[in-house]
Amino acid sequence: MSAVFKCRAEKAGVADLVEKVQLGARLTEAEGGRLFDCPDLELVGWLADGVRRKKNGERVTYIHNLYINYSNICILSCQFCAFARKRNEPGAWEHSVEQMVEKARAAVRQGITEIHMVGGLHPKFPFSYYLEILRALRQVDPKLFLKCFTAVEIYHLAWRAKLSLKETLLALKEAGLNGLTGGGAEIFAPEVREKICRGKETAEEWLACHRQAHELGLPTTCTMLYGHVETRRQRVDHLRRLRELQDETMGFVGFVPLSFHPENTELAHIPKPTGGEDLRTLAISRLFLDNFDHITGYWIGLGLKLAQVALSYGVDDLHGTLQEEHIFHMAGSRAPIAAGRAELCRMILEAGRLPVQRDSLYQPVSNVVDCRSNIAEDEKLETVGVAGDGISY
């Protein structure tokens, strides 16, 4: 540690934590709380950046993927959600299997490697509908990684099918499911869930679903929705529970902190997290989750500029090109609806990192030379009116 940062750590009262992290020792929940209270944000970022470098070098990854929301019709009424609608309510939609297949075919022509699919808890769709979706998408391209459904959706499908959690996951896996998304976790503290997502599955149920998925060979991501009514200590509690399950299964491939967007929700009176709070949460996630290899800066929630800054606060992944993100945009996100590979590569290069396109398991499918080629290819497409993410202007 440089003399400057040593002096700053002593002044901030966290010199012992800096030493502990640099020795590779695990932080306790109380120590995670102390880092949230640390007045020197840059120091926390510097410490997280060192852990990022040890785990991943200078590589920053992204995935070329497509988001599909099969429906936003939902039986729940989560207070933080701007996405869900009731049947016959203005703005409600549901897609046919054929419509989703057409979206997938168009995206596959642009080179995507993953489909990320979630939706509301539809009151009428039978379990066979979800199996049909998976089988149809698998036919589009057998190599596509189908990362679909949250743990909350899995419980809903199990209820619709009158199957156990294990039986439901096995049936979905047989139909083509490759892994689960990380949504629905929100904040695990029950008193917070009562305020922002009354009626949704408990933390224990969410964790049980992911544990079962891992046991069946289905990798998953995990999330935390922060910046609403929870305390910083409750964020650390959330991280601890994720870390404990990861110790048990090692089935999480990455962690995606999600910055709350209040617009068009019942919590619209709550100001969104500041950029500093976003960076602090990302950095502490990197420091606390020592058994996770990857921390994602979700640019849709952060915005492209702050996501670029986050690459110096422990973040080593920028998620994906996305193409059709609706959930955060319906809650007021001002980020673009999609980002091309060229744009993500430029962001990473400008931050002094090496862009690497990855697959769904965070394994590289390209290197920095290929990414520079992506920039050239996408710029060529832009000259004829088509963005590199496959969206016509």
pLDDT tens-digit map of 248-264:
999 999 999 999 998 88
Q: What are the b/e assignments for 19-55, b being 16+ CB within 10 Å? A: ebbeeeeebeeebbbbbbebebbebbbbbbbbbbeeb
**Is the per-residue pLDDT at 369 higher than 60?**
no
Which of 8-22, 44-58, 184-198, 323-337 shows the lowest per-residue confidence on average (mean pLDDT)?
323-337
* 3-class DSSP assignment, residue 322: coil
| CATH numbers and ranges of domains, the chain | 3-52 (no CATH), 59-382 (3.20.20.70)
Average pLDDT over residues 277-304: 96
pLDDT at 333: 43
**pLDDT band for position 6 (50/70/90)?**
confident
Token pair of 7, please?
A: 């002096």
Position 330 pLDDT exceeds 60 = no
Given a contact cutoff of 8 angstroms between Cβ atoms, the answer to whether 119 and 155 are in contact is no
Mean pLDDT, rounded, for 80-93: 87
Distance CA 122, CA 102 (A): 22
pLDDT at res. 340: 79
Average pLDDT rounded to a whole number, residues 109-120: 94
